[in-house]
Amino acid sequence: MAVSPRVFPPRKRWPSTGSSISPKFADLNLVKSLLSLSQEISALKPLQCLLIQKSLSTINKSKLLAIVFEELLRNPVSTSFSPSILLCFEEMYIVFQRIKTLMEDCCNGSKMWLLMRIQPLANSFHELTLELSTLLNIFPVNELDLSQDVEELFVLVRKHCSQSKPSVDPREDSLRRDVLALLHQIKKEIVPHHLKLKQILDNLGLRDQSSCREEIECLQDEIQNQIDEKSKLDIASLIGLLRYAKCVLFGSSTTQLEPDHRRRNSLSDIAVPADFRCPISLELMRNPVVVASGQTYDRESINQWIESGHNTCPKTGQTLAHTNLIPNRALRNLLAMWCRQQRVPFETVGSNEKVSGVKATKAAFEATKMTVYFLVNKLSVSPSMEAANAVTYELQALAKTDSDSRACIAEAGAIPVLVRYLGSGVGSEHPNLQVNVVTTILNLSILEANKTRIMETDGALNGVIDVLRFGATWEAKGNAAATIFSLSGVHAYRKRLGRKTRVIKGLIDLAKDGPTNSKRDAIVTILNLAGDRETVGRLVEGGVIETVIGVINVLPEEAVTILEAVVKRGGLVAIAAAYNSIKKLGVILREGSDTARESAAASLVTICRKGGLEVVAELAAVPSIERIIWEVMGTGTMRARRKAAVLLRILRIWSAGLDTNDVVDISVMSEGRLTTMLSA
């Protein structure tokens, strides 16, 4: 007698398996379970705004049946019930579980989506009531010793259940049609009437900024719960409508930037698993691909590596048999799942697909355009800094959502307007406004086309650099560094940014003095710029090695990766500056992660081979260094093992009084040949 699954909307969030299986309880325990379940339903509050009568009627029936179960427990007719009674109880248990699940689903979900599903949900309530009515009709109540009052209650519930109708409140159905009509207007690029919008939101209990924001978050969660593609598209349209309504009806929010509404968190706010980071950029991979050596990289990073003339695998040093890049779809799915759990935007470059795989509908896209043009126009004529702060808060939140929003904001001319608020004078008096503006530019820069718009807009780049150097808060400086990182993803812009002394100084100062999150933003950006040999020289002159040594205990993985890149490309000046890092690199070899140990070993090989006997002597003075190197050779990554083998050979040659420059680069040798050399 279970309810047909078709009356429930297809969802990923289903009740536990036990809710649809007959319980195997002893007689009285089964009654106790029914009492407990009916009391849980009775304790639920009736639904607000929608399905009020349906939910209230269900709760009242549960309350009355709870009285019947209480009577049975007070006066059990015997130690056991007849098989027919037990069968009815077991089926009641299933129906009550279904009722509870349906009630909770309606209470905890989105009101807008509840309205769109009003007919199937009303049918669900009706079918469950009919299931209960059938059970009550066949229930042998005469076999139980119930008091007359309780038996009358039982009959009353049975009568009400049999009178159930699958009807929808005409007002609720009319409200649903009004929402569909508004979506149809937006699809045709007709701006909705504000009075009609307000009337709909009032009827749903959405009467301020806060309730609208919560409703949008509920809708976003609903997308993740759906398995039906059409439902996902419908919800995307509702989100677009609600965002527009929130801005035009209740004005822009003045809430300070909160963690959940900040820029993408991948750079500083969340510890990204090592397997999800690109070995080249150390950033969260967006489009993972596999190269001929079997290693996985982010497509953008490995493309730049190959286009710059390399034909080897950056991680293993192996010569690539071919330069074909194979999408790592399994890892991309894991990345998307992890980003969704962490509430981090995840988009494949060049794609308008969101994490959920939902592309914007025509209605959602037009609603986004309307929202954007409303906000940009409002910012253009903003009479006060407070009003500008509220608008930029909305823009940065919108720019975080998807590629369509980023494109719309830039096309609406927002970047030149935002540049007005990047000056140090704004930041000193209105720090939140400065944070919101630079965060909006950062979120816009995620879209490739917007990188060009930002670089070509007068004052935009200089404004971001000014925030990096003189921002009023560490958050503003960190977001400015992250913006420069995003812009440097374009090879030509990377060179241009690396030539600017103010960029180098700003990043090094931030890495040196900022809090951990801001340090990481600066360090990752420096690493990206260090891909250009000309920039490495400026970084070394600016004191990057001393800075990296200073943060190596806080951000070991990022620090040693920068050190490896700088000593490899920075010449003798970099080698000399790296002398003081040798002992700390020895500690990383012993205690660091696999990635950190790999970079530390590679850095030490370069420093020792180019730095001469004095440098090798400093390494040899590290306590138990040979044992540490042997451990890396036994447990490190393949590249780390090879680099460690080179280090060990260098130490042995040094101890024999020979020239370490004669050490062959064995980073690509086989393990068998290495063993032969080391045992010589």
**For residue 445, what pLDDT is reported?**
92
The answer to whether the predicted template modeling score (pTM) of the entire model surpasses 0.85 is no
Q: Which residues contact 281 (CB under 8 A, 6 or more apart)?
A: 298, 301, 524, 527, 528
Task: Please check whether residues 212 and 242 belong to one and the same domain.
Answer: yes
CB of 455 within 8 A of CB of 461?
Answer: yes
Do 56 and 162 share a domain, yes or no? yes
164 plus 111 within the same structural domain: yes
Q: State which of 150, 168, 186 marks the end of a domain.
A: 168
DSSP 315: T
- Find which of 137-151, 461-475, 587-601 is predicted with most confidence, using mean pLDDT: 461-475
Q: Which of 146, 168, 190 is the last residue of a domain?
A: 168
How far apart CA 11 and CA 14 sit, in angstroms, is: 7
Same domain (yes/no): 319, 231: no
Tokens of 332: 């991309």
Q: Is the pLDDT of residue 413 over 90?
A: yes
Q: For the purposes of burial, counting CB atoms within 10 Å of the CB of 515, is it exposed (0-12), middle (13-18) or buried (19 or more)?
A: middle
Share of the chain above pLDDT 90, in %: 32
Check whether residue 55 and residue 116 sit in a common domain. yes
Q: How far apart, in Å, are the Cα atoms of 120 and each of 190, 222, 297?
A: 30, 17, 46
Indicate whether 77 and 193 sit together in one domain: no
Residue owning tokens 């990096």: 468
Residue 189 domain flag: yes
> What is the identity of the amino acid at 275?
D
The pLDDT tens digits of the residues spanning 620-631 come to: 888 888 999 999
Identify the pLDDT of residue 347: 55
Residues 331/254, Cβ–Cβ less than 8 Å: no
- 326-327 and 296-298 as β-strands: parallel, antiparallel, unpaired? unpaired
CB atoms within 10 A of CB 456: 10
Helices and strands (H and E) in the chain: how many: 34, 3
Tell whether 154 and 176 lie within a shared domain.
no
Under the banding of pLDDT at 50, 70 and 90, the label for residue 254 is: low
State residue 269's pLDDT score.
Answer: 54
**Would residue 352 count as lying in a domain?**
no
Whole-Å CA distances, 135 to 80, 98, 162, 227, 536: 19, 14, 11, 33, 79
CA atoms within 13 A on the CB side of 1: 23
Residue 581 lies in a domain: no
Predicted pLDDT of residue 527? 86
- Number of domains the chain is built from: 3
Domain termination site, one of 316, 342, 368: 342
Helix residue ranges, H only, 471-593: 474-487, 491-498, 501-513, 516-529, 533-541, 544-551, 556-569, 571-577, 582-591
Residue 205 belongs to a domain: yes
Tell me: do 206 and 239 sit in the same domain.
yes
Q: What is the pLDDT of residue 677?
A: 45
Residue 287, domain extent: 274-342
Per-residue pLDDT reduced to its tens digit, 533-581: 888 888 888 888 899 888 888 888 888 888 888 888 877 788 888 888 8
Q: How many of the other CB atoms lie within 10 Å of CB of 610?
A: 18
Residue 614 located in a structural domain: no
Nearest Cα to Cα of residue 139 among 56, 69, 70: 69
Higher pLDDT, 272 or 73: 73
Average pLDDT, integer, range 190-194:
89
State the pLDDT confidence band at 179, using cuts at 50, 70 and 90: very high
